[in-house]
Amino acid sequence: MIKQKVRVKTFQINGIDVTGRSDSTILEVAKEHDIHIPTLCYLEGLSCVGACRICLVEIKGSNKLIPACTGKIKEGMEVFTDTDRLHKHRKMILSMIFAERTHTCSVCVSNGHCELQDMSVELGMEHSQVPYLTNRFDIDASHERFVNDPNRCILCTRCVRVCDEVEGAHAWDLVDRGLDTRVIHDMDDPWVESESCTSCGKCVQVCPTGALSEKGVSATEMVKKKSLIVNLLEMRNRER
């Protein structure tokens, strides 16, 4: 195989000169330069889908805000990650994510170990700016080891991606649209009846919230192993 020449691009983030491989995303280059951009649906090791919009950044000369996790870098671009406008939009987006489902943190398995909750702290979002919808979704506790509670789901699709890209099972997918969207197994079968699920539990470990959890844990007890995926991929690459 002919190796493509690695090209680099130079541009600015928050006024600092940075360089990155030409096919990088803004988020990747920011990370390499220790510039923090808040993210929710992004998870190292998985593909980027731009589902949550928390990582929005400003580009000088453009009115559009773009997600840093999917936005590719361009030579000479000027990126801003920490402006008042972004703070305002991120808070609104986070409010909408909270209000879309029913997050009763005090009784949640993930209370104290939840990425959504952590984001409310990071962004200083201490109340929702939009009314709570309180749509009810049925909980799937059919699996002997895992529970799926869509009332805490933020539709980040980490579960869908890890199952497809790392486990290779593609047991999860999305069904319905808009506010009714849910993650489902196979043809919307109960988890226990899913023929494609291998019960590996990767989806549970990468889920940022209490939507996917291990059975038997009670409030605050669900601590997840987020580094699992990066470690797994590293081991695989080593073997090759």
Partner 1 sequence: MAQKIKVATIWLDGCSGCHMSFLDMDERLVELSEYMDVLYSPYVDQKEFPEGVDLTIVEGALSSDHDVEMIKTIRQNSKKILALGDCAITGNVSTMKNLYGTRAIMETGYGQNADHNESGEYPHLVVPKLLDRVHPLHEIVPVDYFVPGCPTPADAIYTVLKALIEGKEVNISQLTRFGK
The Cα 154–Cα 167 span in angstroms is 21
d(CA 203, CA 131): 30
102 binds partner 1 (CB under 8 A): yes
Residues that bind ligand FES (CB under 6 A): 39-42, 50-55, 67, 69
Q: Is 127 in the site for partner 1 (CB under 8 A)?
A: yes
Integer Cα distance of 185 and 45 in angstroms: 22
Among 58, 140, 167, 173, binds ligand SF4 (CB under 6 A): 167
What is the rounded distance in angstroms from the CA atom of residue 172 to the CA atom of residue 206? Answer: 13
Q: Could you say whether residue 116 binds ligand SF4 (CB under 6 A)?
A: yes
By CB under 6 A, tell whether 11 contacts ligand SF4: no
159 binds ligand SF4 per the rule CB under 6 A: yes
| 205 interacts with ligand SF4 by CB under 6 A | no
Nearer to partner 1, 203 or 222 (CB): 222
Q: Where are the alpha helices (DSSP H) in 51-132?
A: 84-100, 115-122
Task: Identify the burial level of 16 via C-beta atoms within 10 angstroms of its C-beta, where 0-12 means exposed, 13-18 middle and 19 or more buried.
Answer: exposed
Binding partner selected for residue 159 from ligand SF4, ligand FES, partner 1, none, CB under the kind-specific 5 to 8 Å limit: ligand SF4
Which of ligand SF4, ligand FES, partner 1, none interacts with 131 (beta carbon under 5 to 8 A by kind)?
partner 1
Map residue 40 onto helix, strand or coil: coil
Per rule CB under 8 A, is residue 104 in the interface with partner 1? yes
Q: How many residues bind partner 1 (CB under 8 A)?
A: 26
**What is the bridge-based pairing of β-strands 182-185 and 172-175?**
antiparallel
